[in-house]
Structure 1
């Protein structure tokens, strides 16, 4: 057994449990911490390809195959007995957390752009986040809840987000005139099995239950007006897909929790590529990013020392940190970057 490999996996699961699942999904926290100290399961995980080792995929595969939602000591025998089935499911599935509630954290910066918008999401999955203009949103502010509806009226997709500043609440919805996505494995929003898998990827726990209904409502919107999701590597397809955007619109390239799946060199290549995208395609381009700390060092350097980043992305506008965005869109905090 490769002790270095199992130690790295153990640390990954412990970080997932303590940093990400803690306080939001008690069951996944318990499962992750259990795996992190379980030598037998760690040795089995070490035999898998690295992308197949991640907690989100392993736990979702277990649930897909009927794992009981019990604490880790009771789950462990099931895992060992059904390991081959779990691995087979993981081999045919990927983690594509198409969390539409993240649109609640995209609406504040998008509302600032007083021009028609062309939206290009990298890592788009089913493209559910390509429709922020068709979502209603309820923002819990320090003075109360404020609701923002699309010009067409109340939507069946209702986002929920807590903000730390009244000024973050958008006063208008963006005027989206074009939308595209890029993904290694695009999802058809009309494919019931694919949407069932996306729903299965939602973590168990009361904080997450509303996400499933919201996801299915957003899938219905996307299925009724399917956006084009281009299959391919974002590093290879970004320029040509972006060049198809209308020249009289501001092109917004955006993504959430995508760069963490690239290595350091690929992240740098992407940042350099998008930095020169505007001149390359002769378009006005805005780059909006929701990524974890540890993704790009120049972004990390902008986060004030001591700032809590658990369960949060650092949101950036053209590489400048502007907010902390909850990993599932439930919070939006601008005060760490005010001034």
Structure 2
């Protein structure tokens, strides 16, 4: 994915910003939100709006973040001219909102693509899992055992959770993935985030809902149900299965090692992240990769790119993530959890094997 440049020339910056919006319009948005595709295409062709966006810090120029901030402030989900007028009239407010907001899309349905890997790890180790999620937002993906799942047209796994209002996460598959027949046992739920969110706070919940792209009604319903499941789980406190979700504010490079080392004997530490590492600068990404390989844990990554030990980017598939375990790519996944395509070359790594 394209992440801009530090070039000082306005024309170059404008072209780079246009390229980013064009990529989102043609790769990431079309299959999921036609309105966002229209908005991104419109911004890419509007020099005035590009000049506004290009002056934002690089990490605030992501199209879906800009659009979510506008919607949070009241921009209706209508045609591009409506968005363009809103941005021109209220840009100072949008920029102010962007200064304190992050994308932090908390998509619980990604658990459907992570679950086969989590369940396989537990089956192999025979131990409950101590989850350490990087960039957990409000922590919805730290509750994989509190949701219900249906792969293709199969039986519902975790159907007992539906009675308490948990979402049903539906996922289509290809390529013979190792689908689970039971939910994993979770021993603990830790997360590290620069800006952890309280999903029980109404304004925070409203922001998370604005991060759901227009037209994704089912996704919005899932998010609402997952926020309810999180609130219920947290109310149970220490009585909750696997204990409450505990989110730590800080840098993942500083906190991931002590959290993994604190996992007691008899539990398997699992470091996981989804749509997080892609946003880190390359040098930080490389430091993290080097660090996590030294830890006594299993490592699940689900990102829009995959880096092997040589630093190359193989096995990419436009508009999808790459799911990997301990550095071994296993599958392509839908960015919002609705698809799991086990790759023909994918193989299950032995415990501790990395590439």
TM-score by length of 2: 0.86
Question: Deviations for 1:22-50, whole angstroms, at most 9, x for unmatched residues?
Answer: 12110000111111111111111121111
Residue in 1 aligned with 2:50?
Answer: 42
Name the counterpart of 1:281: none
Deviation of 1:217 after TM superposition, in Å, equals 1.6
Whether 2:208 is the aligned partner of 1:190: answer no
| Structure 1 position 166, deviation (Å) | 5.0
Q: Please name the residue that 2:179 is paired with.
A: 169
- Residue 282 of structure 1 is matched in structure 2 by none
Q: 1:314 aligns with which of 304, 322, 337?
A: 322
1:236 aligns with 2:254: yes
Q: How does 1:106-145 map to 2 (within 5 A)?
A: 106-113=114-121, 114=123, 115-140=127-152, 144-145=153-154
- Sort the Cα spacing of 1:298 and 1:217 in 2 relative to 1 into closer, same or farther, 3 A: farther
Residue among 60, 66, 69 paired with 1:52: 60
* Equivalences for residues 98-109 of structure 1 within 5 A: 98-109=106-117
In structure 2, stretches of 5+ residues that fail to align are 1-8, 235-243, 348-355
Confirm or deny: 8 A CA contact 1:133 1:150 kept in the other structure: no
- Please give the per-residue CA displacement for 1:259-300, whole angstroms capped at 9, x wherever unaligned: 11111111110000000011xxxxxx1100001126567585
1:287 aligns to what SS in structure 2? Answer: strand
Q: Distance in 2 between matches of 1:177 and 1:214?
A: 24
Contact 1:104 1:160 in 2 (8 A): yes
Q: CA deviation at 1:110?
A: 0.8
1:271 to 282, 289, 303: 289
Measured on the aligned residues, the alpha-carbon RMSD in Å equals 1.9
Counterpart residue number, 2:3: none
Change (3 A) 1:8 1:135: same
Instruction: Verify the 8 A CA contact 1:137 1:160 in the aligned structure 2.
Output: yes
Which string of whole-angstrom CA distances, capped at 9 and with x for unpartnered residues, describes residues 84-108 of structure 1?
Answer: 1111111222110010000000111
1:124-181 residue CA offsets vs partner (Å, 9 max, x unmatched)? 11110001011100111xxx33321167675622111111145432111111011100
The answer for unaligned runs of 5 or more in structure 1 is 279-284
Cα deviation code 1:27-81 (max 9, x no counterpart) = 0001111111111111111211111111111100111111132222343222211
Aligned to 1:146: 155
How many residue pairs get matched?
A: 324
TM-score, scaled relative to structure 1: 0.90
1:16-35 correspondence runs (5 A)? 16-35=24-43
Q: Quote the offset at 1:311 in angstroms.
A: 2.5
Do 1:182 and 1:233's aligned partners in 2 also have CA atoms closer than 8 Å?
Answer: yes
SS at structure 1 position matched to 2:102: coil
> Using a 3 Å threshold, how does the CA distance of structure 1 residues 53 and 69 change in structure 2: closer, same or farther?
same
Secondary structure in 1 matching 2:258 = helix
1:220 aligns with 2:228: yes
Q: Measure, in 1, the Cα distance between the counterparts of 2:176 and 2:301.
A: 22
